[in-house]
Amino acid sequence: MSAFRPGYLFTAIITLAAATTIAHAAGPPTRIGGCTKTNVKRITTRLVDTPGSGSAVYFTNGGFQVSYDTVPSVDGSRPGDPVRMCLVWMPKDCPPGDDRGKVYKTTNLRTNRSWELPDSHHQCGGA
């Protein structure tokens, strides 16, 4: 019978923590129906320092969503809130290198409120 070795437990815990961080740190989903967990980084207005210009939210995975309207479920979120972000729509026939206009459904796991917004002010090929 082998003796318990605390070093193995420590290594297992560190490995599990690293795997969880990697999965959580993934960027926004790239396939329709794909989801990822991330956190709210910042909540702001669509136009910086312009109240009433709409809502915008930045995520720690590099994701971003924006609306010309004020979205109460976005504005009710706080930095650090855990969210689930799922890709629900992608534009087709985009020019090479222009991948704007993907729509994500995001659910704030603290408030249990959701919103569907694009990742850009315009779709691919637009302004």
Averaged in consecutive runs of 10 residues, what is the pLDDT profile of the chain (127 residues)?
Answer: 48 40 67 97 93 96 96 97 98 91 97 97 80
DSSP string, 1-58: -PPP-HHHHHHHHHHHHHHHHHHHT--S--STT-EEEEEEEEEEESSTT-TTS-EEEE
Beta-bridge mates of residue 89 = 103
Q: What ranges do the domains of the chain cover?
A: 27-118
pLDDT for residue 24: 54
pLDDT for residue 14: 39
- For residue 47, count other CB atoms closer than 10 A to its CB: 14
pLDDT for residue 26: 79
pLDDT for residue 48: 86
pLDDT for residue 125: 76
